[in-house]
């Protein structure tokens, strides 16, 4: 078996920043267990598998493909950065002739379109619901997204970006505290600050998902499908600029749409191209 495989850094304008994802192009169906084996071998937060929907489809000509995402531990129902990476491979390396691509996924149809400043993803917008406060001045608000099983903790406005960046999170403690299966990802978020001499952002975040084998995800599109809903209500804005404060870091442009979905914009750079053999 020989598979074309790529690694692309998503939500960044340059290589070696943002969030890397592996992308496999499938000419034919894989044996089911091979998806997980390849994802474990790549050992990135997500490996994406793009497959043809019909035998006559062409990666350079067709506009609709199947798409699945796997962490090293399990399949996940939605991954924004690996979708962006997949679109970047098709647009930039395969030279797909279409301006918009449709991906058929476990989260329904997702679209990626080329823009002057990157690629825009059309993702579901997930509402969040308030949870009981935990009596900690560190946390200003707690919300839960049942659609994505993500828990959102908003840190107090008294803290700044530097505090969020340097905050230590113990993965073993997270797994011990939450073992019911209700939570698959933890979002820590903070209101943005005036830019001053630097670029300003509407909000900051970090994302942790040890429940699916990912300690900290560098830049997370699916988390921003939740964050967009929360911060739009908090700030009264439909257009926002966000930064995920991982060590690699990444910027996301956000536009809430009238149809109840969200456009998430970001750059991507393909940094590796090769062939996987087995």
What pLDDT score was predicted for residue 1?
A: 81
What pLDDT score was predicted for residue 193?
A: 84
- pTM tops 0.85: yes
For residue 78, how many other CB atoms are within 10 A of its CB? 21
How do residues 183-223 score in pLDDT, each as one tens digit? 999 999 999 987 655 579 999 999 999 999 999 999 999 99
3-state secondary structure of 215: strand
Nearest to 88 by CA among 266, 278, 274, 277: 266
What pLDDT score was predicted for residue 196?
A: 55
What pLDDT score was predicted for residue 278?
A: 73
Q: Which residues are bridge partners to 144 per DSSP?
A: 129, 151
> Rounded distance, CA 33 to CA 110, Å?
25
Specify whether 165 is catalytic. no
Residues in the chain with pLDDT values less than 70: 133-137, 195-198
**32 phi and psi angles, rounded to 5 deg:** -55, -45
Alpha helices by DSSP H, listed for the chain, are: 32-42, 80-88, 161-166, 171-177, 221-235
Sequence-separated (6 or more) residues with CB below 8 Å from residue 268 = 8, 9, 10, 11, 12, 18, 84, 85, 87, 88, 92, 118, 119
What pLDDT score was predicted for residue 136?
A: 61
Q: Which two tokens stand for residue 202?
A: 């509407």
29, 32, 46, 251: the catalytic one is 46
């Amino acid at each position: 078996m020989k598979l074309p495989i790529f690694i692309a850094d998503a939500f960044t304008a340059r290589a070696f920043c943002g969030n890397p994802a592996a992308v496999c192009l499938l000419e034919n169906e894989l044996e089911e267990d091979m998806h997980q084996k390849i994802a474990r071998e790549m050992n990135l937060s997500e490996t994406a598998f793009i497959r043809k929907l019909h035998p006559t489809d062409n990666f350079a000509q067709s506009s609709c493909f199947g798409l699945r995402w796997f962490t090293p531990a399990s399949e996940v129902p939605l991954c924004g950065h690996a979708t962006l990476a997949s679109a970047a491979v098709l647009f930039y390396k395969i030279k797909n002739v279409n301006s918009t691509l449709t991906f058929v996924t476990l989260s329904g149809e997702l679209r990626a379109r080329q823009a002057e400043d990157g690629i825009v993803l059309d993702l579901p917008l997930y509402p969040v619901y308030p949870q009981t406060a935990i009596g900690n001045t560190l946390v200003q608000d707690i919300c839960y997204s049942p659609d994505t099983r993500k828990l959102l903790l908003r840190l107090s406005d008294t803290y700044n970006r530097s505090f969020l960046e340097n905050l230590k999170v113990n993965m073993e403690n997270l797994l011990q505290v939450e073992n019911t299966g209700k939570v698959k990802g933890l979002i820590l978020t903070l209101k943005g600050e005036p830019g001053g001499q630097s670029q300003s952002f509407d909000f900051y975040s970090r994302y942790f998902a040890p429940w699916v084998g990912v300690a900290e995800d560098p830049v997370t599109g699916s988390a921003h499908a939740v964050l967009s809903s929360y911060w739009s209500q908090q700030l009264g804005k439909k257009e926002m600029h966000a930064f995920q404060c991982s060590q690699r870091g990444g910027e996301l442009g956000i536009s809430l749409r009238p149809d109840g979905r969200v456009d998430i914009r970001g750059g991507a750079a393909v940094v590796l191209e090769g062939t996987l053999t087995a």
